[in-house]
Structure 1
Amino acid sequence: MVQLRLEEARLAKKEVMDSIHDLEEKLNQSENVEKDYEKLFETKERYLKDSNSKISAYLYDSYDKEADIKTLLKELNEAISAGIQVKDALTRAIDSLEKAKGWGTVDMLGGGLLSTAVKHSHMDESTRHVHDAQSMMRRFQKELLDVKQTASMELEVSGLLKFSDYFFDGLIMDFVVQDKITISLENTKIQQSDIGRILSDLRVQAGQKNRELDRVLSERKEFIESM
């Protein structure tokens, strides 16, 4: 009985291995077919492009649209990357300010020299993070201006760099006062929210352009295949 079952298992294994071998051969054939199709498609595309006809004019117009969209997508992605860096720096500043605010409360309740020292340490951290955000904000502003020149987007960028002035005016002049910490924290959160809104607009625009690019490429492929 065991011998029969063993023989049956061997036969089943052979059938499975034969099936795998057949599938591998079919996959290899399909890969060759795909490569052959791509070569034929490229040859046909070159022929149509060089035909000096209305067909070639349509193709060149399609290539121009593709290039324009890719250029804009590059600008959008660069702006998004710069904006994320600013937002991350502001997040770090907010975290330090919230810690400073907490220790400031302890300090006001008579926490002593330790709480004062910890509070000032967190204030120094937040100042460094806002300095970082200010530097990154300049790059972000430049990228946004590049986007405005190539896309129909209403982006308010002139006020971005003013934030750090408000922050440091409220912080450095009298940072030992708890109200100043609170005001600086709220201003930083507002700025972070504004950056988030701009990033959301940029991502929406990038999504639209990606879909437009897919449409241009798909339409061109269908056009070439139909010729």
Structure 2
Amino acid sequence: MIELDNLYAKLTRVKGALTVNQKQLNQCMRAKIDAKRVYESFTESSEHYTKQQFKRFLTSLIGREGQYIEKTKQSRTKAYRHLNDCNEALEKAFLEHERLENERNRLTTQLQALKQQLSETSDTYREEVLEAFSERKHWREVCEEIDEAFYIGQKILRYVDEAIDALDSAKSWSTVDMLGGGFITDLVKYDHIDKAESIMKKVEGSLIRYQEELKDVSYGWDSGYEYLSNSHRLMDFLLDNIFTDVSNYNKIQDNLSSLENLLNQMNTSQNRLSMLRKQIEKEIEQSLDLYDLDKNQS
């Protein structure tokens, strides 16, 4: 199978070069558009021309019209040259793109012919084709699990953001409470705290589902969120002094820190899932290139 591996390696390099070339094409196109816009700003048909005429009138009043005209000509010439350079770079990138596409198509045709030949002459290759088919089926199932877990993870991130917003508001009202707030301040503060705690119950339920979808993947998601007990709330309402106010403020701050920590954990986990899915997609693509006899067949 050395010939198959070598041919696929060449095809992979050409595909990589095409990806780089496409980025260059996009950059050249944007550069040409910008250069053309600058150059056209010096033409008489542009809106900019009227403004230039007014500048010429002003410079003529102070005896510097000649300097202004010469500077404008130089800028226009420079813009024209830059536009030409951009056109040349774009044309070069297009030619390279065409060359790489032709090379990719040639190698793809060769690879397809070689796969067909091996399928007719090699028992080992036929066994690998069957094994690869089974692997792709498993990988696609894993992708479905990853997608489901990622969707749940995105919901968790939204919930945590909402809980942080609610606690931020509670923290602000807690600050007011320490500065001399009263019963109404406590009511508003606990309204935001209740909202955060309600959201956190959704988060905890979603985290369980998240872990179930990931199955064998082990992560230690722990928000460390502390719910405020009814006795704690009653003490705050009844005593309502600086000690209970500071205690509440500290608990809110601790919970905010815990949620920020959970947010970081979830973002890290979601990024890992994205990277894992891309890797699996790459494995599936490679398997199809090497062992799917119908791929790229006209």
TM-score by length of 2: 0.50
Task: Give the corresponding residue for 1:67.
Answer: 137
Flag as ranges the 4+ runs of structure 1 deviating above 4 A: 221-226
Q: Provide structure 1 residue ranges, at least 5 long, that are not aligned to the other structure.
A: 1-40, 149-154
Mapped partners of 2:185, 2:124: distance in 1: 78
CA distances 1:175-212 after superposition (whole Å, capped 9, x unpaired): 65111111111111111111111111111111111111
Task: Give the corresponding residue for 1:215.
Answer: 286
| Residue from 159, 184, 206 that aligns with 1:89 | 159
CA distances 1:10-57 after superposition (whole Å, capped 9, x unpaired): xxxxxxxxxxxxxxxxxxxxxxxxxxxxxxx9xx98xx59x9944432
Task: Give the corresponding residue for 1:98.
Answer: 168
Q: 1:210 to 1:225 in 2, by over 3 A?
A: closer
Query: Which structure 2 residues correspond to residues 155-166 of structure 1 after superposition, within 5 A?
Result: 155-157=218-220, 160=221, 162-163=222-223, 166=224
Q: Which has the higher contact order (CA 8 A, sep 6+)?
A: 1
**Could you tell me how far 1:219 is from its partner in structure 2?**
2.2
Query: Which structure 2 residues correspond to residues 156-195 of structure 1 after superposition, within 5 A?
Result: 156-157=219-220, 160=221, 162-163=222-223, 166-169=224-227, 171-172=228-229, 174=232, 176=236, 177-195=248-266
Aligned length: 168
Which secondary structure state, in structure 2, belongs to the residue aligned with residue 167 of structure 1?
coil
Task: Please tell me the root mean square deviation across aligned C-alpha atoms, in Å.
Answer: 2.9
Task: Give the corresponding residue for 1:142.
Answer: 212
Mapped partners of 1:147, 1:217: distance in 2: 27
CA distances 1:139-165 after superposition (whole Å, capped 9, x unpaired): 011122x253xxxxxx423xx2x53xx
**Counterpart contact for 1:101–1:178, Cα < 8 Å:** yes
Task: Give the corresponding residue for 2:240.
Answer: none
**Counterpart contact for 2:166–2:196, Cα < 8 Å:** yes
Mapped partners of 2:161, 2:271: distance in 1: 17
TM-score by length of 1: 0.64
Task: Give the corresponding residue for 1:3.
Answer: none
Mapped partners of 2:209, 2:295: distance in 1: 42
Identity %: 21
Q: 1:121 to 1:58 in 2, by over 3 A?
A: same
**Could you tell me how far 1:126 is from its partner in structure 2?**
0.3
Mapped partners of 2:295, 2:175: distance in 1: 71
Bigger Rg, structure 1 or 2: 2
Q: Provide structure 2 residue ranges, at least 5 long, that are not aligned to the other structure.
A: 1-111, 237-247
**Counterpart contact for 2:288–2:295, Cα < 8 Å:** no
